[in-house]
Amino acid sequence: MPNELCVTLWVKGFQTGDMAKAIVPSGLKAGTHIGRVAVLASGSCNIQKAQVVVQGIGYRHCRVIQRADGYGYSF
């Protein structure tokens, strides 16, 4: 199931819907990204910010801020 969003699975400690903070030190997506996580089966994440989706963030750069509980939050 590569490059497909996981619906209910936990991948590398993350679940789709978690709020996360990603600190990417270098590369095209360098910077700090905070938002809702969409987990891919490959172990990478998409982070949905207020108006932009940052795709392909490695799970090593992400830290969970809040577990998914069904509500939408903004930071």
Q: Is residue 6 part of a domain?
A: yes
The answer to whether 37 touches 45, Cβ cutoff 8 Å, is yes
Query: Distance between CA 30 and CA 71 in Å, rounded?
Result: 28
pLDDT tens by residue, 16-52: 889 999 999 999 999 999 999 988 888 889 999 889 9
Q: Phi first, then psi: give them for residue 59, nearest 5 degrees.
A: -65, -25
Query: Distance between CA 75 and CA 70 in Å, rounded?
Result: 16
Range of the domain at 38: 1-69
- Return the residue matching tokens 């360098």: 30
Query: Distance between CA 73 and CA 38 in Å, rounded?
Result: 15
At 9, is the pLDDT very low, low, confident or very high (cuts 50, 70, 90)?
Answer: low
Q: Is residue 63 part of a domain?
A: yes
Higher per-residue pLDDT: 7 or 38:
38
In the chain, the number of structural domains is: 1
